[in-house]
Chain A
Amino acid sequence: MTLQTEAAAAPRLTSERPQNFYGRTSLSKRPRPLESLIQSFLFLCGALSIATTLGIVYVLGQESLQFFTNPEVSLTEFFFTTYWQPEAGEYGIWALANSTFITSLIAMCVAVPFGLGAAVYLSEYASPHARNFLKPTLEILAGVPTVVYGYFALTFITPILRAVFGVETVEIYNMASAGLVMGIMILPLISSMSEDALHAVPRSLREAAFGLGATRFEVSTQVVAPAALSGVTAAFILGVSRAVGETMIVAIAAGSGSLFTFNPFKAAETMTGYIARLSGGDVSYASLQYQSIFAVGLMLFLVTLVLNIISRRIVARFREVYE
């Protein structure tokens, strides 16, 4: 009743006390301080990720800046020479980058054929029953800690390599062993992501090809694989990024001490290996060596970031096509 009276009296009241009138019957939101407090807290949780990224960029950038502005280091030396001897004041990133490149290359030579083969087999050939068993089993490999892979490389693969190629040719710590094991580590990533991509190819494409008389292998390689190519490429790039950033396997099995060599049987430190070894020791915080690990870290961060972004771009494009 009261409401009605007020409504009837509305025109008169409005001119006199408008705020009071609208405040009582308006359907707009009542202020809820607790709700907004919670929302702000949740927003801060989300924004923390931005702070993390900024922190990474700031830390790597700031220490690297100090490193590069030091008169003992020149940018041309850093980017164009191949000797990395911090003790002697020689900072040529290629000595480290080259071993990262070689171990990653070996890893991809293992991971791509086997990972892709497994993906095609699981997606196109395996019975649902076999697939349900094989896929999770392969994924266990992805959950094994990298330090265990490092141990595996050092105690299993290296002795085999030395037995096959000769003790003189293969050093105890060598890039080949680390690369091979890294390939095994990346294999489940490639197979899992590629399998998802292959699986997402519409059935109608396969059926059309079967209807034209293609064999299963022809369907897989000439119809399904090209259709899933972008997904497979994304998996490949992500695999490279993983290999470049991998630390423990190379720290354990690839040796310490940098060396610019293309011989995979030699010990040579990678970028990540250098960071791990140097920061594990007692380096004083103000020294050039301490700053050098951040310069190397910055290179690592940039390379993996670019690879990840490319990979996600490709996946995003590929999703648009098939969903």
Chain B
Amino acid sequence: MNTHSSTLSARHRIGKFWQMLLAAATIVGILSLIVLIYNVVNEAAGLAVIQYSVDPKLVLPKPLDELTNEEMIAAIEENLSKGAYQRANTDQPFNTRTKSELTKFVQERVLEEEVKGTWSLTDSLFKADQIRADAAKNYPKARLEFRQWLTLDFITQPMSSNPLYSGIRTAILGSFFVIVLTIVIAFPVGVGAAIYLEEYAGHHWFNRIIQTNIDNLAGVPSIVYGMLGLAIFVRALEPFTSGAIFGILDSNGRTIISAALTMALLILPLIIINGQEAIRAVPNSLRQASYGLGATRWETIWHHVLPNSLPGILTGTILAISRAIGETAPLIIVGASTFIAFDPNGLFAKFTVLPIQIYNFTQQPQDEYRNLAAAAILVLLVLLLALNSMAIFLRNRFSNRL
């Protein structure tokens, strides 16, 4: 009796111990998510040492904040090359600019500000005194300021070789162009294939091969799609994807259309598989009723099956799109450009996308690029969060209806 109860309690003790371990495993997963986000936020703001490469005393008559607009314009004219001055003046005439705009221009172009070092948010908050002392010792001429790297300027400005003024506008636009085009290509084809497999395909061997094939394609690494895109779209179809047959002669096949075609092939299996599930969920009675009233097969699909499965199909498509937005590897292979200072202007433009830009930021050795990468990641994550919320919203509507 005694030994029996002791083994029982031992067994329960073992059970309790393992329960704790299993709970810990779950918590590790959740914790990694929290740490991941913390790490990004931590790098997206913080103290930065910023120094003028040109000594203000040499080029400006007075300290910068005491200058009037006219004095600043004079200083700009004096210190910029004639061509550069003209260009900036054509962009926006200097006499129409506000004082803060002029100040910024002087800081950027005349004094040539640059970042000497940056600190993370937590360091900036908890070790501020030490950082101040270090900065004063190592960079006596520099100023230390608290900088938020994710600003409106960062989102709306094109890339620049100076990280202080670099923005991700062209990358966001590039992502937008590629994704929209990807959807335009992949959605109709994907839904079409899903309809075929669910509504038309019988047990013919060829249909079984298509089904197996789609399941296998879903597991092919994305980088392999990139190689397919490189060989087929960028190289073999170069006259088309470079726009040469449409009279555009200045680019090669590494264009938005090549990227979108590659991406479309990549997300096609996902759209098909999700679409099939949505179509399968439409009750058969609906189809029977429609046939009973004399509708043809396509009429039944168009008027009854598709409207009822649309929320499900859209959910699947949105999830596929959010995969495509974050996808980097295939576009590196297809050949996204690293530095694009102008907005993409059509299907046959060179491009860069947000994840590629993040990748490029991580490849730079300087501290400040780490902060820029963090800021760009925040933009990407917010975008994905918005898309996924939309998918969840649609899914809930879907489950309410059927």
Contact = CB atoms under 8 A, between A and B. Distances in A.
Given A49-B210, A252-B359, A151 B29 contact: no
Interface string B31-67: 0110110011001000000000000000000000000
A121 B23 CA distance: 6
Interface of B is mostly: helix
Interface stretch (A1-9, A261-269, A274-282): A274-282
A56 interface: yes
Nearest to B38: A156
Interface string B191-209: 0110111001100000101
Given A125-B19, A138-B30, A155-B370, A276 B329 contact: yes
A48 B18 CA distance: 50
Contacts of A156: 35-36, 39
B359 A150 contact: yes
Given A118-B26, A217-B19, A140 B33 contact: yes
A245 B210 contact: no
B307 interface: no
A217 B252 CA distance: 62
Interface stretch (B77-85, B152-160, B284-292, B376-384): B376-384
B329 A272 contact: yes
A148 B36 contact: yes
B32 A141 contact: yes
Interface string B203-227: 0000101100111110111111111
Among B18, B217, B296, B388: residue with most chain A CB under 10 A: B18
B190 to A, nearest CB: 8
Interface in B296-313: 296-298
B25 A118 contact: yes
Contacts of A46: 192-193, 196-197, 201, 207, 210
Contacts of A143: 322, 326, 384, 388
Interface residues of A, number: 87
B257 interface: no
A140 to B, nearest CB: 6
Interface in A278-310: 279-280, 285, 293-294, 297, 300-301, 304-305, 307-309
A215 interface: yes
Contacts of B188: 45
Nearest to A126: B26
Contacts of B231: 59, 63, 294
Contacts of B243: none
Q: Which of A46, A116, A184, A191 gathers most chain B CB within 10 Å? A: A46
Contacts of A312: 215-216
Contacts of A53: 213, 216-217
Contacts of B362: 147, 150-151, 154, 252
A45 B268 CA distance: 10
A143 B380 CA distance: 12
A88 interface: no
B32 A145 contact: no
Interface string A127-157: 0000000100110110111111111101110
Contacts of B370: 155
A275 B219 contact: no
Interface stretch (B7-15, B110-118, B143-151, B166-174): B7-15
Interface stretch (A16-24, A31-39, A71-79): A31-39
A235 interface: no
A217 B329 contact: no
A317 interface: no
A215 B332 contact: no
Given A141-B32, A215-B11, A247-B222, A52 B228 contact: yes
Contacts of B335: 279-280
B131 interface: no
B196 A50 contact: no
Contacts of B183: none
B192 A41 contact: yes
Contacts of B21: 117
A318 interface: no
Contacts of B35: 156
Interface in A104-127: 113-118, 120-122, 125-126
A294 B229 CA distance: 12
Interface string B385-402: 000100000000000000
Given A35-B296, A45-B196, A154-B362, A279 B26 contact: no
A286 to B, nearest CB: 11
B136 interface: no
Contacts of A275: 223, 227, 333
B180 to A, nearest CB: 19
A311 B26 CA distance: 24
B228 A55 contact: yes
Interface in B315-356: 322, 325-329, 332-333, 335, 355
Given A35-B297, A151-B373, A191-B29, A49 B193 contact: yes
Contact of A276 (B196, B220, B332, B373): B332
Given A146-B326, A276-B223, A279-B335, A48 B193 contact: yes
Given A138-B33, A151-B40, A191-B29, 5 more contacts: A50-B209, A125-B23, A148-B380, A275-B223, A304-B224
